[in-house]
Amino acid sequence: MLKRKEFILGAAAGLTLAAAATAGGVINWPGAHAEPQAVNRITPVPANGDSFTPPPGAPSSFATIFDQVSPAVVQIDVTVKVDQPQGGGAFTIPGLPFQFVPPQGRGGQGGDEPQTTQGAGSGFFISQDGFIVTNNHVVADATEIKVKMSDGRELPARLIGRDPATDLAVIKVEGADFKYVSFEETAEPRVGDWVIAIGNPFGLGGTATAGIVSAKARDIGGAESPYTDFLQIDAAINRGNSGGPTFDIHGRVIGVNSAIYSPTGGSVGIGFAIPAEVAKRITSQLMRGETIERGYLGVQIQTVTPDLVGALGLTEGQKGAYVGEVTAGGPAARAGIQIGDIVTAVDGQAVTNNTELTRRVGAAKVGDSLRLDILRDGRRQTINVRAARRPAEAELQGGPQGGDETPSTPDAPSGAVVEGMRVAPMSDALRQRYSVPADVNGVVVTDVARGSKAGGLGMPAGVVILRANNRAVATPAELEAAVAAAKAANRPGILLLLRAPDGNRSIVLPLSTGE
């Protein structure tokens, strides 16, 4: 599963935050200290007939659009503290997939000043009095923010607010009479419509790229990007473009460039922008100084896939969100939700995947009572849960923290081999070897055969199998019995609940047919 990372400068293989912003139609933003003046309001090019019919000559040149809107787009430079180990060795810059070796003479000895690095992104003015929209990952860890405008001016900026869950942030520079743009809300872009992106790729400010809307309503990160259906565009987006605006053919902001999918870290024509409707709603709240609050149940969930249906022996075509972990003491735990439950509806509205459940719960206010229809052991029932306030994303994604390295690494017991996995019952030695918390119990995977089904899934040693076929397992024999039962029922796979360093997760392990 693609996992969202906090990227300041770089773009990693796979899904990579690229840095983006937003611009578009005309709106009145809260917090403006003066009424917008016509001289500073960037007016979209008049449309001919249909709201997305390009004006004459549009496909041959985007020069007029660029001239109109580029004064509202800015380069954002940030200074970021990075953790450096003692001894001045290599260390990791937040968001970059490689290690950084500091120049000689700047090695971080014990009493030295904290090491810093520079990052860059994009943004755009959304009001005349200096409010700027960008990505959260551009400014989240910044100790200093500077804005460079298209006319060459450089201004210090301060953070107003940010929302990691949608990767949006608002910063502000002091002053007035700034050229600004607005979000387009009334006209929906279509797949195939022209777009133009303006930003600061690789520090090259004022860069324009053009393309089309390639797809809509992309879910690019599952639980890591649960509140946004992204626009997919093929206008080139690279590192430094994050937070910059995506314009339509009339110069209206339809999205904020936020991520790319790339095996190389550079643009391959697959970019993602936060739609204007989401961007306006979130950034307007941030401009008012509000904190973005969402409902919370305290469960880890995944979509019920055909593999999961087969492994659990469910009715073909069953939809819903499978509960893989329940947070102790959370709203769901207090209401009686259990691991293995499948949520099929919220307040009478069907749930077909994990994203739908996350958004329904997120839209609830703190204290709202939610009626969940669930499937448990083949029986349907209803449970009422009172939503709590969703914790900060950093807290949710932090996961269990491992302790210091132990002085010695004990040998793992030989154990038994089940479906290509060598497994052993939990012991003090295995807890020490794999840093397993004291309250976690199950069967420990100590080795995986390369040619096995488990090896094909990339299952590492140290994973703890907590449940098999929705039943707790504590010994290799219990795991073997669960596998035998699944085979006897002619199921193609077995559902395993695993404990990994970043939390519980459920997988379907395809079963071998030669045993």
Q: Give residue 23's pLDDT.
A: 30
pLDDT at res. 465? 92
**Predicted TM-score of the model (pTM):** 0.65
Q: From the CB of residue 289, how many other CB atoms can be counted at a distance below 10 Å? A: 11
Helix (H, G, I), strand (E, B) or coil at 313: coil
CB 387 within 8 A of CB 370: yes
CATH superfamily assigned to domain 416-510 = PDZ domain (2.30.42.10)
Q: Which residues pair with 47 in a beta bridge?
A: none
In this prediction, residue 49 carries a pLDDT of: 52
Q: Which CATH architecture has domain 1-39+62-292?
A: Beta Barrel (2.40)
Q: For the stretch 163-201, what's the b/e string if a residue is b when 16 or more beta carbons lie within 10 angstroms of its beta carbon?
A: bbbbbbbbbbbeeeebbbbbbbbebebeeebbbbbbbbb
Fold match flag (1-39+62-292 vs 295-398): no
pLDDT of res. 269: 77
DSSP classification of residue 290: P
Domain boundaries, the chain: 1-39+62-292, 295-398, 416-510
Contact criterion met (CB below 8 Å) for 210 and 194: yes
**Is residue 137 within 8 Å of residue 23, measured between CB atoms?**
no
Chain length of the chain? 515
Q: What is the mean pLDDT of each run of 10 residues along the chain (515 residues)?
A: 32 45 30 44 58 58 83 90 53 38 43 70 92 92 90 92 90 91 83 87 82 82 67 85 88 87 72 89 91 88 88 88 88 91 92 87 89 92 91 61 34 67 86 84 87 82 89 89 88 88 81 68
For the chain, the maximum distance between any two Cα atoms, rounded to a whole number of angstroms, is: 78
Catalytic machinery residues: 137, 167, 242
Predicted pLDDT of residue 59:
59
Extract the tokens encoding 502: 């970043």
Domain 295-398 top-level CATH class: mainly beta
257 and 197 in contact (C-beta within 8 Å)? yes
Q: Which two tokens stand for residue 142?
A: 């910044």
Which pLDDT score is estimated for 135?
92
CA distances, 79 to each of 76, 117, 135, 146, 463 (Å): 10, 6, 15, 9, 38
Q: CA 359, CA 364: separation in Å to the nearest integer?
A: 9
Contact predicate 334/427, CB 8 Å: no
